[in-house]
Amino acid sequence: MTRRAALVGASLGALVLICLLSLALGARQIPLGEVVRALGGLGVDGETREVIWSVRVPRTLLGVLTAAALGLSGALMQALTRNPLADPGVLGVSAGAAFGVVISMGVLGIGALSGFVWFAFAGALVASLVVYAMAGMGRDGLTPVKLALAGVAVTFLLSSVTSAIVLVDPESLNRYRFWSAGSLSGHGSGVLPQLLPFILAGAVLALACAPALNSLALGDDVARGLGRRVGLVRLQGAAAVMLLTGAAVAAIGPVVFVGLVVPHLARAVARRAGAETDHRLLLPLSALLAPCLLLAADILGRLVVPPIEVQAGLLVAFIGGPFFVVLARRQRLAEL
């Protein structure tokens, strides 16, 4: 237990450090000492205080909330499907949420997050059902490769329809083009209170599933023998994924691969405590490590070609794409 607490503490420390760097680095470099003084309400000039509190604090908090949601949903999906390739982006959940947002923006003219977030939830749910229905066809039933292929097919289909919608409406195209790249910039502090209830509800549902996920890892029959209501656990997990992914995608766009990469990093960290299969540790670690990845990508995007910012979602995809290929080869998908 002491080693587990140490791993969680170290992950939390890494998150605090990356948050401080997110507040300090950008178009204007601010020394860490001034950042700490500004956060503590001590003496800094008004311009520095304005940059930190009005621009970078909301941006950093948004990154923490949405990335934690994506990391949790990825770990949860991999546990529920027993598929190491599961991810909201790979299995079409993010594309479904994005499709719902575009329908609300371009067709219904809904511009507020509190309005189109419900369409994101609906799109995520419908996409999940379609992917599972497609992957379940055939004699072999659900397999990792069939889930991944069905997810890719649904993602491309929804992306094509989404592109057709935004091309018809130039105003929607301008909003979608920026949003779809996956960016933490351009959001005011008013977004955070709107997101918080949905992400908190999804996180509570996800963490409450952790003991049952350990039983599901042994197989459905064993889980039932241990007194778990498998159907209820899967329903609870699906609701958590829908809340977490829908809220995150509605806020920052369809950022892919965070939910794929981070659970594997969490397992590598948990292995030091001999608990790489214990979701009571994996889920909190995923929620802490995911913001580290997304904020690091966001910081790098500010610095790589200044003064232009590269969207964080593009850099995460640049990292996640090769990781997916390596992981797929390790799973020997050609033989499945």
SS3 label, residue 308: strand
- In whole angstroms, what is the distance from residue 78 CA to residue 96 CA? 18
Contact 172, 166 (CB under 8 A): yes
How much is the pLDDT for 91? 75
Kindly report the pTM of this predicted structure: 0.87
List CB contacts of 211: < 8 A, sequence separation 6 or more.
Answer: 279, 280
Cβ 241 vs Cβ 132: under 8 Å: no
Rounded CA separation 32/152 (Å): 42
Tens-binned pLDDT, residue by residue, of the chain (336 aa): 688 999 999 999 999 999 999 999 988 888 998 998 888 877 778 888 888 888 899 999 999 999 999 999 999 988 888 888 778 877 788 888 888 888 887 777 776 777 778 888 888 888 888 887 887 776 665 566 677 778 888 888 888 888 787 777 766 666 677 677 777 877 777 888 888 999 999 999 999 999 999 988 888 788 888 888 888 888 888 889 888 988 888 888 888 788 888 999 999 899 888 888 899 999 999 999 999 999 999 999 888 887 788 888 888 888 777 776 776 666 544 433
Q: What is the pLDDT of residue 161?
A: 85
CB under 8 Å to 265, separation ≥6 — which residues? 289, 293
